[in-house]
Structure 1
Amino acid sequence: MMTTVSVLLPVRNAERFVEEAIASVLTQSLGDFKIIAVLDHSSDASGDILERLASDDARIRVLQCEGEGLVDALNTAAKAATGDLLARLDADDRMRPGRLEEQVDFLEHHPDVVAVGSAAVEIDARSRVTGMMKVPTADAALRARLMRANPFIHSSMMIRRGTFEAAGGYRDDFPLVEDFDLWLRLAARGRLANIASPLTDYRRNDTGLSASRAAEQRLNLQRCILAWKRDAGLLDEAKHTALSARLAALFARAQDLDGQPERMTGDDLALFTELLEHLPSVEARTLARLVSAAASAGKVSAAQSALFAFRARVTSRAAFARRCADAVKALQVR
Structure 2
Amino acid sequence: MLDWLYTGISWVMARWHSLWDTVFGNPPAETALGGLSWVLAIVFLVVTIRLILFPLFVKQIKSQRAMQELQPELAKLRKQYGSDRQGMAVAQQALMKERGVNPLAGCLPILPQIPVFLSLFHVLRRLAPDKPGLYSWSDELTDQAARAQLFGAPISSSFNMSGAKETAILDIAGVTYTNIRIVAFVLIVIMCFTTYYTQKQIMKRSGPVEGQAAMVQKILLYVMPAGLFVSGFLFPIGVLLYWFTNNLWTLGQQFFILRKMPPPGSDAAKAKAAGDKPAVDPKTLAPKPGAKPVRPKGGRPVAPPATDAPTGDGAADGSASPNGGAANGRPPGKQSPGGATRAGQSPPNRGKRKRR
Select the structure of larger CA radius of gyration: 2
TM class by shorter-chain length?
A: under 0.3
Q: TM-score, normalised on structure 2?
A: 0.20
Q: Looking at secondary structure, tell me which structure has more helix per residue.
A: 2
Q: Looking at secondary structure, tell me which structure has more strand per residue.
A: 1
Q: TM-score, normalised on structure 1?
A: 0.21
